[in-house]
Amino acid sequence: MKRLILMRHAKSDWSTGLDDHDRPLNARGRLSAAALGDWMRQTGHLPDEILCSTATRTRETLERSGVTAPVRYESSLYHAAPNTMFEVLSGASGAVVLMLGHNPGIAAFAHRMVAAAPDHPRFADYPTCATLVAEFEIDAWTDLTPGTGRAVDFVIPRELAG
């Protein structure tokens, strides 16, 4: 059994004048990332391997979440298409892998990987910091087949705000 946690980066700052790759999180994004990390710890959805885009906003989302595990920063995950995400994931070795990326790729990848979408009104548009947890009846990520995952959980930051 393998478990995949697919997280879109938290809300980023557009006012900095930086290149897209270098944009940091805004105040709301920093709070959302921390809330998602708390949720992951409370629910036990913790990775033993992390695959993260090299963009500043994905790295900062991970840092602010406080979730720790060995991390592999992948430049190919920056605005990756689902096929690229699939390829990167096939090289993973962890039992529970957290992948942090960007839309539209991460939303398309999430839809492609599960047999049935979770019953959640925001799954279709996958807002910032949205997180899917899916399980796969496989022994190795190289055995992964699209459309075979079971959605275990899906959450967005607004549901976690106190």
> What is the DSSP code (8-state) at residue 23?
-
Q: What are the CA-CA distances from residue 130 to residues 61, 71, 122, 146 (Å)?
A: 12, 20, 8, 20
* CATH code: domain of residue 75: 3.40.50.1240
Per-residue model confidence (pLDDT) at position 58? 97
Per-residue model confidence (pLDDT) at position 17? 78
Q: In angstroms, how far is the first alpha carbon of the chain from the final one?
A: 34
DSSP H helical ranges for the chain = 27-43, 56-65, 82-90, 105-113
Q: How many domains does the chain have?
A: 1
- Give the Cα separation of 23 and 21 in Å (integer): 6
pTM assigned to the model = 0.95
Per-residue model confidence (pLDDT) at position 13? 87
Amino acid of residue 42: Q
- Give the Cα separation of 162 and 149 in Å (integer): 31
Per-residue model confidence (pLDDT) at position 146? 95
Per-residue model confidence (pLDDT) at position 16? 67
Cβ neighbours around 142 below 10 Å, total: 11
Domain membership of residue 72 as a residue range: 2-159
**One pLDDT digit (tens) per residue for the chain, 162 residues:** 999 999 999 999 887 678 889 999 999 999 999 999 999 999 999 999 999 999 999 999 999 999 999 999 999 999 999 999 999 999 999 999 999 999 999 999 999 999 999 999 999 999 999 999 999 999 999 999 999 999 999 999 999 865
